[in-house]
Structure 1
Amino acid sequence: MIMQRRTLTGSPIALHGRDRFEDRMRRITERSLRAASMKVTEMNPDLARWYCLLVKKGREFDVENSLRDANVEAFMPRERVVKVRYGRKTESDIPYFPSYLLVRCIPSPEAFHGLRRHRNVLDIVGGASGYHIIRDENVAMFKRICEGAEAPRVATDKTFKEGDRADIVLGPFAGFTCIVTAVKWCRQAKAKVRIDVHGRPFDIDSMPLAFLKKS
């Protein structure tokens, strides 16, 4: 007697179910992200506000490009740096504030959900009392810098040290009080700082000392 062996083909049920779940979540995220699109902000521009996203370090340009592809107004402050490798000078853009990216949208639960769920986005800067709103003039200043204008010339306090408390007076984080966690003295002195947003800590690795004023 010859026994016949049946062979099952196709994807495992668990994997198929997971794929369907991920596809459903992707479609929900895309639908929510449309609430943050420029199509919505253009209908009610007076209601639109700038917010700050916390993104994976090294993925700032990717997030900016993918949000723009989704018709979301995104802007990453950047600076041009010159590096010397193997005796040759090369220029490249780097994030002014690594791990942070600015977006403009009309505030709504759907828009915030879509932004938080977007690929490589970790969170929106804010806390239980709401998300941090960035003033239009601070965004405009960085846009001018990215277009080639000189950064504002502000005297730098050279007495800053680790543990100092300071007020941030320029840039997208203006208005916050921070704690200096490290100082890097170079041509444009910068500091690592920690801010508290409604009870939640956020670390900023590259804050120009010229943007700080001792409390």
Structure 2
Amino acid sequence: MAEEARWYVVHTYSGYENKVASTLAKTVENRNMQDLIPEILVPTEKVTEVKDNKTREVERKIFPGYVLIKMVLTNDSWYVVRNIRGCTGFVGPDNTKPLPLSDEEVQKLGVEKKNVEVSYQVGDSVNIVDGPFDGFVGTVEEIDTEKNRVRVTINMFGRETPVELELDQAETMDD
């Protein structure tokens, strides 16, 4: 396939997000279009809810009324998505040619996790190469690859200060 799959946002009737996603997934499977529409997502988050002095975990939709679809835009894929029951159309300036989400928007939404290989471990000395602490040297205290974060302790104003950075904002020191 010459074209790469991009993320698009589809507007649905309120409360129909899961129905649209499951119907679309079945249609993609039945028509053997997995190469054109590889991923369908209804973004949700787990929220702790307190009701009548009882706490329980509830899954809540982050964007009610919207479904995210990763697809290669062709006439066939566009037609299939547009004609799913409950789908009102693509989000964008007009319904003739939908606009994909930019890479920056995809990253901010946390839809796609990019894997960052880190060459340092807890206890290593690292250079901070980006952000407000650029140029500082610190010691790695904690690495959280799930959240793309690293906690580094730096010496600022004669005190040890922990700072949270993204994984690619720190790199190992060259000896």
The answer to whether 1:138 aligns with 2:95 is no
Match of 1:12 in 2: none
Gaps of 5+ in 2: 30-36, 114-145, 149-175
C-alpha distance in 2 between matches for 1:149 and 1:93:
19
- Secondary structure of the 1:111 match is helix
Change (3 A) 1:59 1:109: same
Structure 1 136/77 Cα, relative in aligned 2: closer, same or farther at 3 Å?
farther
Aligned-pair identity in percent equals 24
Superposed displacement of residue 59, structure 1: 1.6
Q: 2:22 pairs with 62, 65, 82, which one?
A: 65
Contact 2:48 2:55 in 1 (8 A): yes
Mapped pair 1:87 → 2:53:
yes
Runs of at least 4 residues off by over 6 Å: none
The CA distance in 2 between the partners of 1:110 and 1:47, in whole Å, is 16
Q: List aligned pairs for 1:24-173, cutoff 5 A.
A: 44=1, 46-69=3-26, 70-71=28-29, 72=37, 73-126=39-92, 127=94, 130-141=97-108, 142-143=110-111, 149=147
State the alpha-carbon separation in 1 of the partners of residues 104 and 95 from structure 2: 26
Please tell me the residue identity of whatever aligns with 1:133.
Answer: P
**Offset of 1:53 from its aligned partner?**
0.2
Number of aligned pairs? 106
TM-score, scaled relative to structure 1: 0.42
Change (3 A) 1:111 1:90: same
Q: 2:163 — aligned with what?
A: none
Q: Note the C-alpha offset of 1:129.
A: 6.7
Give the superposed CA RMSD. Answer: 2.8
Maintained 8 Å contact 2:89/2:95:
no
Give the C-alpha shift of residue 144 in structure 1.
Answer: 6.2
- Unaligned 5+ residue runs, structure 1? 1-43, 151-215
SS at match of 1:143: coil
Q: Distance in 2 between matches of 1:128 and 1:137?
A: 23
Q: Give, in angstroms, the shift of residue 56 of structure 1.
A: 1.0
Change over 3 Å in CA distance of 1:149–1:88 after alignment to 2: farther
Letter in 1 for 2:101: I
Tell me: CA distance 1:59–1:149, structure 2 relative to 1, closer, same or farther (3 Å): farther
Deviation at 1:137, TM superposition (A): 4.8
